[in-house]
Amino acid sequence: MPCYNCAETVSQTLLSVIETNMEPGDEIILIDDASTDETNELLSKFAASYSFIKLLKHFRNKGTAAAGRNTGMDAATHDLFFCIDADNILKPGSIAPLKKYLLDNKLDAAAFGTIDYFSDDPSVAAFEWKLFEKLEFINALNNPMQTPCGSGNYLLTRDIWKSVGRYNECIGGAYDSEIFGLRLLGEGAKFWTLPGYSYLHRTGYESTFIKEYNKKNRSLLFLTGIMDYLHLLNPADIEYIFGKARLSWMDDIEQRPLHTKNHQPPSMARNVREHIRKRLKI
């Protein structure tokens, strides 16, 4: 759990894990990213009260959840990680079925099938997002709101984390989780969501994502993040995202989705038909 200036929310998050979502031998790793409020003092009290809590600290702020997750995973003694942000809440008894789902289906990563968003009162959901059940690289890229990639709150194996090359700590707070999720899928990870289960995601305040959203060009960041997986895309789409749409393709993804290598976009198909008609003089 990466933690930065989260004294107002982290106790609620931790209790949601401790009270009903722990099994014997489990551990909680907290990473304080050089907080300037009372976060470290609060985390220290939890660590002193529970032997299974390990508290780590960055002595300078690294400014991204990616750094905290990497630090925590490096220190973990187990090979399954559940990442949760310090302002979200697990529902009672939800981790055990998610773990069983991952193990039974031999998955590399598993997320809850729905995200329930709340503002001040966790018992009152403002709205919910239902996610794809079986994730694929191209669908996740084209439909970011229907995947758990952006939230980063899911279960994954140590092996797939290493295969992707860990979290990229240079991307920035708004997009490091989403690009990591896409890279998982680009690597061919078996990543499913569990229908009928959800967690509580806090909204209605200036989160890291909102603060970081307009600081960097989204399309350039995503292009850098998926560079290793361009071979999965249709050549026409590669030309598109490196050409006139270089600064805007990700912002326009709903209106102009990308396609797999073996898929022929409709516009391309029309051009081929027109070329054939002209050659045959139809």
Structure tokens at 157: 């194996």
Sign of torsion over alpha carbons 27, 197, 169, 31: negative
Digit-coded pLDDT (tens) for 28-47: 999 999 999 999 999 999 99
What distance in Å separates the CA atoms of residue 194 and residue 103, rounded to the nearest whole number? 12
Contact 180, 152 (CB under 8 A): yes
Mean pLDDT for 257-280 is: 56
- Which pLDDT value is given to residue 226? 94
State mean pLDDT over 196-224.
77
Beta bridge partners of 130: 114
- Residue 213 scores a pLDDT above 50: yes
The region of weakest confidence among 202-211, 213-222, 270-279 is 270-279
pLDDT tens by residue, 244-258: 999 999 999 999 999
Does residue 61 surpass a pLDDT of 50? yes
Q: What is the mean pLDDT of residues 53-64?
A: 95
- The segment(s) of the chain belonging to CATH 3.90.550.10 are 2-232
| 228 alpha-carbon distance from chain centroid | 18
> What is the share, in percent, of the chain residues with pLDDT greater than 90?
80
Residue 50 has pLDDT above 50, yes or no: yes
What is the reported pLDDT for 261? Answer: 86
**pLDDT at residue 275, as a whole number:** 39
| Euclidean distance between CA atoms 88 and 24, whole angstroms | 23
β-strands 125-130, 109-118 pairing:
antiparallel
Per CATH, which fold does 2-232 belong to?
Spore Coat Polysaccharide Biosynthesis Protein SpsA; Chain A (3.90.550)
pTM for the model stands at: 0.88
* 57: Cβ contacts below 8 Å, ≥ 6 apart: 31, 32, 34, 40
